[in-house]
């Protein structure tokens, strides 16, 4: 195996480091708890094991091939959750990026629930109710398989008694899904203090999807002369 120079995929590695710092600043990856990856062709840039994510630099991010071999000259050992990341990046419909956190509220709910119900229409962006993958020891193939199953048709999953995983076409999307999951978890937790939270059923979730498509929700548009939006 030919090793690549230290600046190989440095732009992608810098994006991984920036995402890690953003997650740390939000309190979603305390200390060394969590990992981030970005696929670039037949390679994956991902956080190294033991890294403090809040101070990670692009030069610190390692690169592996799709079989998990480090291809970077002088590269650090990859995260212990490499099987989880490569399993997701190896799907027939691979996302561009994967984020694993120990987000406090979602992790707490993962110690109690088997599924986070859809309590807000924004959760449609996560695929609806968020599954809780059964507990397995960190860094094991069993955990990777459980997470892969929980992500089927979803952009986020909770890991029982562990944390969260979210995916996206790029790192911004994966981080945004992570943040949305934590907000949704906190909303459910707060509502549950008052009584059983109302949830959105499949018909209500489909109506949200239809409205987003029909109205171009989330995109800026110019207004017509008569005050109506175009």
Catalytic residue status for 81 = yes
For 85, the token pair is: 């990341």
Residue among 118, 30, 137, 127 at smallest CA distance from 80:
137
Looking up tokens 């959750």, which residue turns up?
Answer: 81
Q: Residue length, the chain?
A: 230
CB 63 within 8 A of CB 44: yes
**How crowded is residue 137: how many other Cβ atoms within 10 Å of its Cβ?**
8
What DSSP string runs through 34-53? -EEEEEETTEEEEPBTT--G
* Largest distance between two CA atoms of the chain: 65
Query: What does each C-alpha distance from 83 to 42, 145, 171, 174, 222 come to in angstroms?
Result: 16, 9, 19, 18, 46
Catalytic residue among 12, 81, 179, 182: 81
190: Cβ contacts below 8 Å, ≥ 6 apart: none
Catalytic residue IDs: 81
């Amino acid at each position: 195996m030919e090793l690549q120079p230290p600046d190989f995929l440095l732009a992608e590695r810098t994006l991984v480091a920036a995402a890690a710092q953003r997650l740390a600043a939000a309190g979603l990856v305390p200390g060394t708890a969590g990992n981030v990856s970005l696929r670039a062709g037949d390679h994956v840039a991902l956080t190294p094991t033991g890294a403090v994510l809040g101070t990670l630099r692009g030069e610190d991010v390692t690169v592996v091939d799709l079989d998990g071999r480090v291809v970077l000259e002088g590269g650090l050992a990859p995260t212990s959750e490499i099987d989880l990341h490569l399993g997701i990046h190896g799907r027939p419909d691979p996302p561009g990026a994967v984020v694993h956190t120990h987000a406090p509220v979602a992790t707490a709910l993962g110690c109690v629930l088997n599924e986070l119900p859809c309590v807000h229409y924004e959760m449609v962006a996560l695929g609806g109710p968020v599954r809780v993958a059964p507990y397995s020891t960190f860094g094991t193939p069993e955990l990777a398989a459980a997470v892969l199953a929980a992500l089927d048709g979803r952009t986020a999953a909770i890991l029982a008694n562990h944390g969260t995983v979210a995916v996206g076409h790029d790192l911004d999307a994966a981080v945004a899904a992570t943040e949305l999951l934590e907000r949704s978890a906190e909303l459910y937790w707060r509502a549950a203090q008052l009584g059983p939270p109302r949830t959105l059923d499949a018909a209500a979730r489909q109506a949200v999807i239809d409205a987003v498509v029909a109205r171009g929700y989330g995109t800026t548009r110019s207004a017509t002369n008569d005050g109506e939006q175009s």
